[in-house]
Amino acid sequence: MTASARERRVVHVLNTTDTGGAEMVALHLGREMRALGWHPEVLALRGEGALSAEFAAAGMRVSNLGVPIGQGVLRIRAALRHWLARERCDVVHTHNVTPLVGVALAAPRHERFRFVHTKHGRARATNLRGKFLTRWAARRADALVAVSGDARDCAIRREGYPAGRMHLIYNGIHVPATATDQVGQGLRLVTAARLEPIKTMELLLDAVALLRRNGVAATLDIVGDGSERPRLEQHAAALALGEAVRFAGWQRDVGSWLRGADCFVLASRSEGLSMTILEAMGHGLPVVATRVGGNSEVILDGTTGRLVPHGDPAALAAALGDVLGHPEWARRWGQAGRTRVQQEFSLDAMARAYDQLYRGP
């Protein structure tokens, strides 16, 4: 049976199936691609995580190579080479650096499948060997995607990705049928992110403490988990935030937390194109976030929310105070954000752009 007479098989290669931006893009994309004639699945290099059940529920098989953290690209190459030799793939779609390099090394002559890679942010190799391998691997891919203009420029200027193969495809989301009606009724903030150093969540805790010292009785729900959680819980205790901050852990239904909030906030030091920001805007929430990466390509300062410099908790507190202190602004910004996501960041537009890339020239 030819590829045109059956569902074409596309395999998303990820580091793990833990909750993260790249993993959520693969999940959302996989859910859409069946209607376009694709059979999507996932290959995890280093192990499975919380999203494995979500992939399975979407009909996407999850395979796991189980390469332990600490074992490098040569071990990954060997495991990938064995897996690819026995599997029949039409498209192999890698996400972020390690899968890119691993597939390029495992199948340097990839005539059996089309090789597509997505760069989700600014993360890059810092040592000479890593820089060389990334540059070399990017030139082995048939098509390269960046999820924001910032990520695209970083890939070309700083990592040597070939500009002629680069494509800009914004992440897309499913926009709920109705927006939240909570905005402007309270002082509830929400954030959703992996609790890892790049998210600099301590800055958000500092900003909430400043708000409360200034008489704004804001509360914060932190949805997500990660290695930083114990330290962040200690930091919240040291700031005497008490019940004003709730660590919700990983949640399958993030939407229910968004629907009950008045404002979404993200204090990262780096972002590609944040899925959680898009989801918050889709629910009609105003967004306050740091002016990093692709955030300024999504959030229109003073129209859909506020952008602030990274590393400045006072500026973050002031922007949050603007939203919480002006309910009419918050409602207007939330409505404008929802409209923007519907028009510019739809799941259908993302899926059709990838479909075109998968099929090739």
Close Cβ partners of 301 (under 8 Å, ≥ 6 residues apart): 307
How far is 255 from 178, CA to CA, in rounded Å? 12
pLDDT, position 5: 45
pLDDT, position 111: 63
pLDDT digits (tens, 9 = 90+) for 309-335: 999 999 999 999 999 999 999 999 999
pLDDT, position 200: 98
pLDDT band at 112 (very low <50, low <70, confident <90, very high): confident
pLDDT band at 342 (very low <50, low <70, confident <90, very high): very high
pTM, rounded to two decimals: 0.88
**Angle, CA 56 vertex, CA 52 and CA 62 arms, to 5°:** 60
pLDDT tops 80 at residue 108: no
User: Can you spell out the DSSP letters for 278-344?
Assistant: HHHHHTT--EEEES-TTHHHH--BTTTEEEE-TT-HHHHHHHHHHHHH-HHHHHHHHHHHHHHHHHH
**What letters, b where the CB count within 10 A reaches 16 and e where it falls short, cover 153-163?**
ebbbeebebee
pLDDT, position 132: 93
pLDDT, position 2: 45
pLDDT digits (tens, 9 = 90+) for 193-209: 999 999 999 999 999 99
**Mean pLDDT within 87-96:** 94
pLDDT band at 173 (very low <50, low <70, confident <90, very high): very high
Average model confidence (pLDDT) across the chain: 94
pLDDT tops 60 at residue 110: no
Domains of the chain: 3-172+346-359 (3.40.50.2000), 188-344 (3.40.50.2000)
pLDDT digits (tens, 9 = 90+) for 283-296: 999 999 999 999 99
pLDDT tops 50 at residue 121: yes
pLDDT digits (tens, 9 = 90+) for 65-86: 999 988 888 899 999 999 999 9
**Mean pLDDT within 109-138:** 86
Q: Look up tokens 């901050």; give the residue.
A: 245
pLDDT band at 301 (very low <50, low <70, confident <90, very high): very high
Q: Under a CB-based contact definition with an 8 Å cutoff, are residues 17 and 55 in contact? A: yes
**Mean pLDDT within 335-354:** 96
Q: Under a CB-based contact definition with an 8 Å cutoff, are residues 255 and 283 in contact? A: yes
